[in-house]
Amino acid sequence: MTTKLMGQGVQRVEDQRFLRGQGRYVDDVAVDPATLHAAVLRSPHAHARIVDIDVDAVLDLEGVHAVWTHDDLTGPMAEPLPLLIPHPTLTHGRTQYALAKDEVNYAGEAVAFVVADDRYVAEDALDAIRVTYDVLPPVVGIDAARAADQLVHDDVPGNIGARMEQSTGDAQAAIAQAPHRLALDLTVERSACTPMEGRGTVARWDPDTNRMQVWTSTQSSTGVRAVVAVKLGLDLGQVDVITPDVGGGFGVKINHPWPEELLVPLAARALGRTVKFTEDRREHFISSAHERGQVQHIEVGFDDDGRLLGLDVEFWHDHGAYTPYGLIVPIITSTQLLGPYKPEVYRVVFESLYTNTVMVTPYRGAGRPQGCFAMERTMDAIAAYLGKDRAEVRASNFIQPDEFPFDQGLIFQDGRELEYDSGDYPASLEKIKALVGWDEFPAFQKEMAALGRKVGIGLACYVEGTGVGPYEGAHVHIETTGKVKVATGLTTQGQGHATVFAQLVADELGVKFEDVEVVTGDTRRMPYAVGTFASRAAVMSGSAIHLAAKRAKEKVLKIAADALEASEDDLQIVDGVVSVKGSPGTSLDLGTISVLSNPLRYAFDEASKAATQFSVGDPGKPPVPEDEEPGLEGRDFYSPERATFASGMHAVIVETDPDTAEIKILKYAVVHDCGRLINPMIVEGQIHGGVAQGVGGALYERMAYDEDGQLQNASFMDFLMPYVTEIPDGIDIDHLETPSPLNPLGIKGAGEAGVIPSAAVFAAAIEDAERIPITAMPISPSELFHLRQEHQP
Amino acid sequence: MKPAPFAYHRPSTLDEALATLAADPHAKVLAGGQSLVPLLSMRLAQPSALVDINGLAELDTILVDQSVVRIGALARHADVLANPAVRRAQPLVALALSHVAHATIRNRGTTVGSLVHADAAAEMPVVLTLLGGSVRVASVRGQRDIPAAELFLGPLESSLAPDEIAVSADFPVLPTGAGVAFEEVARRHGDYALCGVAAVADGDTIRAGFVSVSDVPTVVDLTGVPAGERGEAALAQLEPQADIHATAAYRSQLVRVLTERVVESAVQDRGVA
Ligand SMILES: Cc1cc2nc3c(=O)[nH]c(=O)nc-3n(C[C@H](O)[C@H](O)[C@H](O)COP(=O)(O)OP(=O)(O)OC[C@H]3O[C@@H](n4cnc5c(N)ncnc54)[C@H](O)[C@@H]3O)c2cc1C
């Protein structure tokens, strides 16, 4: 038997291309000079009525082909963009238009669309458009939204898009009866995904075949396909969407359609030319999505051991100007907040508020970092109040390994019950304590204090619902060359899907890893798919691919058994060759079996002769048996009942400079449980990236809006995404593998986990170093300095 | 983020460059492009033409003699930083340069360009001011030397006339026995500093220069001020401003802390060279 690849740190097949600059992103498509380029005029105001748009000067410019404003749009294109995920409590959902109609609600909203010979000319044209605005007072920040002195949307009272409540009982009563009570007020600020590649779309209309071909940098090619068809009045079958290499998504590209994803195809059809839009960095900051902004109020009642008797959480979620992605982010906060704990009674209520800022859609972690922050800050506050060890208080609240499946009594983001499938939190805690040196830390802290140095340690735990439905599918095709082509519909943003999916297929089919080629996000190859989000690719497509490979294998064995005149049970497949166990001479390679699977009339090469009508088949039977199809293919879908719940714990040791208040990371440790590991190296890479993003979110990044709703740091000069120099030198990682019972491979998602506990764990460590309550994240040296001033004895 | 249209000239002699520049009052000089190109791309600068001086090999020089380190207009930050003679003659130049941006930017960005760009958040203008250096500029009208004290007029504003090209900068060598030090606090490694301090201790004379604290490079004389009071003394002559990364109070704290640290190191450094 070949050694199984599941569980091995197989080198990523993608990296040779990526590291040598041979990745092929949307901007690398259609590079010939005939391609036209689009640019978008964006609102300079956070809130304004559009009085007039004068485009007369534009068309005189040499090299300009067309300009669109809302007045030029008709039919479905003139309607608001879809609200992708409706929810009964989202009573006042609002989405923007592809091009603003009458009103703009954030600085950066698309107002006009120009197509020209190149992007330079297109931007010259933008300069020539004259828009008259009637500027309105903007609503910036959660406080202003709650005060509702001004409204973002005239017809949304109180700026409240949604109010949602869930509870497992009377939390206030439980708190009132508890021996101890605490209340916390917390704030988490905005950040954003900021992938290396921004958004981008290319479209080409082929009048000869009446087809639209779209390349777009998305996390859901089937989603874009569906909406392009609807908005442009095309049949689904006329639209192909191809997602080439994507230079990072982190959530921002799951929202769709972006205005340009519709306007580019529209222009391509209208002009009969290939049209390209490549978002620039400034545009990404002011017109793609942000996340994270929340204000939270927590009340908790607990016993002498710190056990949660009642937990009541109220939070206000800054949704920005629109709600195209529904309530997914705050729902996740409100449910995933519970982490590995089981409060006796829990109630959560949130308001989703409109502000005149860039809209909010999921960013890696998608509401979980905020939930984790609320819960873990509460745990630390309880420990401080009781004078207990922070790890101990957590341990006394853990769901125990024998309590799975564990129903939290809430409804999750996918509309299903929040039921944890498996986990082992006590074991994780032991591992993280050992990894970070939890028990030894107090002595070290004392030693450093004697030297005048301040160090602190923090711990944070999370549970992440991953691999949500509804489904993914896969198609496995064994070619007559013996090579295996695999297609799944969800998209790839650099995670290494081509590697892990090939590992699964190689294992199941018994073929060489090198002989498997994976295609993702191409609706021509797999038209049924959902998308890449919620750490679902490995679980959903991984399982579907495993099942599809199984089907292909069944067919291989059937045909081989026939041809080799052996029983299927006696066959084995090793390195792409089917042989009879114990008699290695009796064998057929998969290529030959593929030839045999497709009865031919015509021989087109030497190999295919074997399948022609005078060579094979029982003349008494139809060449393609009943219930069979020609070709050596397997297709299957995976659709789980509910999400699978991964978990983990992070710990960090920081040092704060007593004079400059700079915050330095001395050690970062992660214990991670995503069920069975397909490829530990890739999982660790995901953790590294997540931690790096988490460091950014906790210590560096924020969206600095001024009171006029202008983003003051819309560049990497001032939006402080950490460099490699700001990331811990090493991240100590330990894995735990608690298999999921929900899928054939026992796997759980791993993509987002690394970023979830960052704000919580850094707040805890800084609090420990400074002995000052940390209630707002991110935190900069400047802010820490002011906290020290406020708390001076 | 594409520049507005401009004409592009790449002269091969200084005279040609000066003539081209003189002919178009709205033209701008292009050196390493590390500051100018982003401004063009964001259309914050829309010059009619660029006069690219990268073809003027005569400006790609670094000369060190008894009295000055003379850096030509095409010497890249990286070349200056790596030059052992420069380091020996005026260690403050190298100390400060190691804080200027990142390696890739130092490979293209020029030290003279950084001076002319006159950003008070940049390290080299402060170093030039503190050391009492000067910049030599040329135009079709002739040449002149602008002392550092007269070079920096305001944020991103230098006293060069539109038709002038800076050809070199002179950093005086460190007097024997004098000590120097440089330190800064930046949010991320290689970022513009939230606050930076350079200091020279020459005999009893102590002077410190401040990066990112005022609109223009500012030097404070701290001669005779005892350790522990230098931070406050410096602050008394400065008015640190707030931005999105630091409040005025925090920046003042950095002035206090860094002044004490840096002046003390400069004092310690005295006599070692
Ligand atoms: C990400 C980033 C980080 C940075 N961080 C720092 C930092 O921490 N500290 C720092 O000091 N700098 C920093 N810089 C700026 C960098 O040092 C620049 O290279 C330098 O300021 C300008 O030099 P240049 O040769 O690139 O000039 P250019 O960009 O070519 O020109 C800048 C300006 O000076 C004029 N100019 C240039 N040379 C001449 C000349 N010889 N005669 C007349 N006019 C001239 C130009 O017309 C233009 O107006 C950073 C830049 C970037 C992109």
- What is the structure's pLDDT at A224? 98
Q: Are A451 and A733 in contact (CB under 8 A)?
A: no
Measured between CA atoms, the residue of chain A closest to residue B6 is A120
pLDDT tens column, A562-582: 999 999 999 999 999 999 998
Indicate the Cα dihedral angle A157, A162, A168, A169, nearest 10°.
Answer: 0
DSSP secondary structure string for all residues of B138-196: EETTEEEEEEHHHHEEETTEES--TT-EEEEEEEEPPPTT-EEEEEEEESSTTSPEEEE
For B179, half-sphere exposure in the C-beta direction (CA atoms, 13 angstrom radius) is 17
Q: Are A723 and A336 in contact (CB under 8 A)?
A: no
> How far apart are alpha carbons A464 and A462 in whole angstroms?
6
> How far apart are alpha carbons A27 and A244 in whole angstroms?
10
Q: Are A477 and A632 in contact (CB under 8 A)?
A: yes
CA A560 to chain centre: 42
Please give, rounded to a whole number of angstroms, the shortest distance from the CA of B57 to a CA of chain A. Answer: 31
Ligand 1 binding site (Cβ under 6 Å of any ligand atom)? B 28-36, 53, 73, 100-101, 105, 109-110, 112-114, 116-117, 122-124, 160, 165-166, 192
* Cα B26 to middle of ligand 1, angstroms: 19
- Domain A17-136+199-246+253-287 fold: Aldehyde Oxidoreductase; domain 3 (3.90.1170)
Mutational test site, ligand 1, from B21, B29, B74, B117, max ligand atoms within 8 Å of CB: B117
* Cα B112 to middle of ligand 1, angstroms: 8
* Cα B111 to middle of ligand 1, angstroms: 8
* Helix A328-336 / helix A368-386 crossing angle, nearest 10 deg: 30
For A691, residues 6+ apart whose C-beta sits below 8 A from its C-beta are A650, A668, A670, A727, A728, A731, A754, A755, A758
* CB-nearest partner of B1 from A280, A661, A789: A280
CB pairs under 8 A between A and B: 69
Q: Which two tokens stand for residue A569?
A: 């049970």
CATH number for the domain formed by residue range(s) A470-638: 3.30.365.10
Place of tokens 């297609």: A487
> How far apart are alpha carbons B46 and B41 in whole angstroms?
9
- The closest of A341, A366, A409 to A166, measured between CA atoms, is A409
- The closest of A78, A116, A122, A84 to A98, measured between CA atoms, is A78
- Give CB contacts under 8 A, 24+ apart, made by A11-16: A11/A499, A11/A681, A12/A496, A12/A498, A12/A499, A12/A681, A12/A682, A13/A498, A13/A499, A13/A502, A14/A494, A14/A496, A14/A498, A14/A499
- What is the structure's pLDDT at A357? 98
* CB-nearest partner of A660 from B102, B185, B249: B185
Atom index in ligand 1 nearest the CA of residue B137 equals 42
In angstroms, what CA-CA distances link A662 with A557, A784, B250?
A: 64, 8, 11
Q: Are B97 and B80 in contact (CB under 8 A)?
A: yes
Please give, rounded to a whole number of angstroms, the shortest distance from the CA of A182 to a CA of chain B. Answer: 32
Q: Are A183 and A234 in contact (CB under 8 A)?
A: no
Is residue B149 scored above 90 in pLDDT?
yes
A387: left (phi over 0), alpha (psi -120 to 50) or beta: left
* CB-nearest partner of A785 from B3, B245, B250: B250
**Start-end of CATH 3.30.365.10 domains in chain A:** 294-395+404-468+641-790, 470-638
CB contact under 8 A, B249 and A786: yes
- What is the structure's pLDDT at A2? 53
Eight-state DSSP code of residue A727: S
- ipTM for the predicted complex comes to 0.95
In the three-class reduction of DSSP (H, G, I as helix; E, B as strand; rest coil), residue B45 is classed as coil
CA A570 to chain centre: 44
Measured between CA atoms, the residue of chain B closest to residue A119 is B2
Q: Residue with the nearest Cα to atom 4 of ligand 1? A: B101
DSSP secondary structure string for all residues of A241-266: EE----S--TTTTTS---HHHHHHHH
Q: What is the mean pLDDT of each successive set of 10 residues along chain A, which is 793 residues long? A: 83 94 96 96 98 94 97 98 96 98 98 98 97 98 98 98 97 98 98 96 96 97 97 97 96 97 98 98 97 97 98 98 97 97 98 98 97 98 98 98 96 92 97 98 98 98 94 96 96 95 96 96 94 93 96 96 93 95 89 92 85 81 88 96 96 98 98 96 96 97 97 96 93 96 94 95 98 98 98 86
DSSP secondary structure string for all residues of B95-120: HHHTTSS-HHHHHH-BHHHHHHHT-T
Q: Which two tokens stand for residue B94?
A: 């190298």
Atom index in ligand 1 nearest the CA of residue B37 equals 29
Please give, rounded to a whole number of angstroms, the shortest distance from the CA of B68 to a CA of chain A. Answer: 34
* CB-nearest partner of B189 from A282, A718, A726: A726
Measured between CA atoms, the residue of chain B closest to residue A714 is B42
pLDDT tens column, A435-477: 999 999 999 999 999 999 999 999 999 999 999 989 999 999 9
Can you list the domains of chain B with their CATH numbers? 7-52 (3.30.43.10), 61-172 (3.30.465.10), 179-269 (3.30.390.50)
In angstroms, what CA-CA distances link B97 with A205, B85, B102, B264?
A: 53, 15, 10, 20
H helix intervals, A82-220: 119-128, 142-147, 171-177
CB contact under 8 A, B191 and A661: no
Chain A residues near residue B187 by CB distance under 8 angstroms: 700, 720, 780-781
State the pTM of this model. Answer: 0.96
CA A499 to chain centre: 19
Q: Residue with the nearest Cα to atom 36 of ligand 1? A: B113
Using 50, 70 and 90 to split pLDDT, how confident is the model at B273? very low
Atom index in ligand 1 nearest the CA of residue B122 equals 11
Q: Which two tokens stand for residue A436?
A: 């970070």
Q: Which two tokens stand for residue A161?
A: 């898009």
Atom index in ligand 1 nearest the CA of residue B111 equals 23
Interface probe, candidates B245, B252, B258, B264, chain A, greatest A C-beta count within 10 A: B245
Chain B residues near residue A119 by CB distance under 8 angstroms: 2
Which H or E element spans position B32? none
B193: left (phi over 0), alpha (psi -120 to 50) or beta: beta
In angstroms, what CA-CA distances link A423 with A340, A687, A740, B61?
A: 9, 18, 8, 66
CB burial of residue A409 (10 Å; 0-12, 13-18, 19+): middle
Identity (one letter) of the amino acid at B125?
P
Residue range A294-395+404-468+641-790 forms a domain whose CATH class is alpha beta
Chain A residues near residue B191 by CB distance under 8 angstroms: 720
> How far apart are alpha carbons A611 and A598 in whole angstroms?
7
Q: Which two tokens stand for residue A71?
A: 């007045």
Cβ-based interface (< 8 Å): residues of B facing A: 1-5, 42-43, 102, 185, 187-191, 194, 244-247, 249-250, 253-254, 257-258
Q: Residue with the nearest Cα to atom 50 of ligand 1? A: B101
CB burial of residue B156 (10 Å; 0-12, 13-18, 19+): middle
> How far apart are alpha carbons A462 and A477 in whole angstroms?
39
- What is the structure's pLDDT at A1? 43
For A673, residues 6+ apart whose C-beta sits below 8 A from its C-beta are A423, A424, A428, A646, A647, A648, A735, A736, A737, A738, A748
Cβ-based interface (< 8 Å): residues of A facing B: 119-120, 123-124, 127, 280-283, 659-662, 700, 704, 712-713, 718, 720, 722-723, 725-726, 780-782, 785-786, 789
Q: Are A26 and A217 in contact (CB under 8 A)?
A: yes
* CB-nearest partner of B250 from A281, A712, A786: A786
CA angle in degrees (0–180, nearest 5) for A737-A741-A744? 95
pLDDT tens column, A642-691: 999 999 999 999 999 999 999 999 999 999 999 999 999 999 999 999 99
**Start-end of CATH 3.90.1170.50 domains in chain A:** 17-136+199-246+253-287
CB contact under 8 A, B42 and A660: no
Mutational test site, ligand 1, from B105, B119, B185, max ligand atoms within 8 Å of CB: B105
Q: Which two tokens stand for residue A224?
A: 């874009």
Q: Which two tokens stand for residue A29?
A: 């498509």
- What is the structure's pLDDT at A792? 87
In the three-class reduction of DSSP (H, G, I as helix; E, B as strand; rest coil), residue B51 is classed as strand
